[in-house]
Amino acid sequence: MSKKLKISLAVVFVALLSFSTGAYAATKYYLNFNDKTTKTDVRMINKKAYVPLNDISKLFGGKVSYNSKKHTYYVKAKDYHPANSQVKTSM
C-alpha cells in the first residue's frame, strides 16, 4: 500500500472518530473519484475536508471492515492499483 494511501486512510479514520463524539450538521456534497460520483457528508476541520471511509472506498469498489481486537480498519478494493504496482492484463 502506498504511503499516500496510508496517510489518506489515517486522516479519514481520525475524521470518523471525531464524528462519533456527537451529532453534527454537515452539508451533503458530491465527491468524484476517477469519474465515479457519490453524494456524501463533508466536514471541514482546519481547512481540510474529511469524508466517511465507507464513501471513499465505495467509489473504487472497496469494502470496509473493522477488527476490534486490533483496533484496525481494513479496506479491500478490486479497482485500486497503487502507482508503483503492475496490473496484469490478459491479451
Q: What is the pTM of this model?
A: 0.49
| Cβ burial, residue 16 (10 Å; 0-12/13-18/19+) | middle
Tens digit of pLDDT for each residue in 53-63? 888 888 778 88
**% helix, strand, coil for the chain, step of 5:** 25, 35, 40
Among 11-15, 29-33, 39-43, the range scoring the smallest mean pLDDT is: 11-15
Higher pLDDT, 54 or 7: 54
